[in-house]
Structure 1
Amino acid sequence: MTQVDFYILGDQSAGDRYQLACRLADKAWQQGHRVYLHTNSDAESRHLDKLLWTHREDSFIPHGLISESDQSLTPVLIGHGEQAGDEHDVLVNLATDVPPFFSRFSRLAELIDKDPAIRAAGRDRYRTYRDRGYTLNTHNL
């Protein structure tokens, strides 16, 4: 069963959920995991793609948009919509809805920041996972 973790940025936290996604993707990749970053739209995917190039000056995260990258050679992929390719290791969800393919992943990270709409959508996703019987872990940052 998928391990579901909610990462909640508090009011005093620096940055937003996109920066947190970069940190989590970097850490997971450094530990040998493949990562799929799921967004709401092409614009958000491209924003995240740019952030991954610049989030740390002293590191490089091999990444790309799922629609434009060789999935077999790219360990960190970014996309949106109903498909996540053949990925099944770590899913980082930045979309407002529950991804339809989340249950095939070993781990799911839900990222919540200070935005009221993001918090409300996160609560809805939390209830959905809880009602389906998933064990939920919460990390207040």
Structure 2
Amino acid sequence: MTRIDFYILKASSAGEREMFACRLTEKAFEQGHSIYIHVADETAVARLDELLWTFRADSFLPHERLDVPDADIDTPIHIGFGEEPGPHDDVLINLADDVPLFFSRFRRVAEVIGGDEAHRNAGRERYRFYRDRGYPLEAHNL
């Protein structure tokens, strides 16, 4: 069964969720996981694509956008927003406000919740969704 972790951030500054997602992606990648990062739209894909290259001066996270033609499906990290997550079934990092329809194919789901009220409310809805379906949940207050 899919394990779901909620990472609840105190900070509500712009970009904090994305920065945390980059650090979480780096940690999962270093542990040998493949990662699919689900975002809300094309603008968020472009922003995260850039951030994965620049969030730390010494980082290298091999990733591909799934919305580009001929995306390499063997790349360990993908970013997408509407499409199926390619071959991934290991770690899903969700930055969108909804529960992705394909979440249950993953071993782990990381829900990143921002500090502002809108993100908290959307996170509460997703938490109830998972809880009501019996998924194991963990909350991490950061």
Report the equivalent of 1:125: 126
Percentage of pairs with the same residue? 56
- TM-score between the two structures when normalised by the length of structure 1: 0.94
Shift of 1:82: 4.5
The answer on 1:28 being equivalent to 2:28 is yes
Written as runs of structure 1 = structure 2, the 5 A alignment for 1:76-87 is 76-87=77-88
Give SS of 2:33's match. Answer: coil
Other structure's SS at 1:137 match: strand
Question: Which whole-Å deviations, capped at 9, do the CAs of 1:39-94 have from their partners, x for residues lacking one?
Answer: 0101101100010010111120001201322011x111000014111210000000
Match of 1:61 in 2: 61
For 1:70, the equivalent position in structure 2 comes to 72
Q: Note the C-alpha offset of 1:126.
A: 0.1
Asked if the contact 2:66/2:83 (under 8 Å) is kept, the reply is no
Moved more, 116-125 or 61-70: 61-70
1:4, 1:134 within 8 Å by CA — same for their partners in 2? yes
The alignment of Structure 1 onto Structure 2 pairs a total of residues equal to 140
Deviations, residues 102-125 of structure 1 (Å, cap 9, x unaligned): 000000000001121111100000
Residue number in structure 1 paired with 2:108: 107
Please provide the CA RMSD for this pair: 1.6
Gap runs ≥5 in structure 1: none
Per the alignment, do residues 104 and 53 of structure 1 end up closer, same or farther by CA in structure 2, a change over 3 Å counting? Answer: same
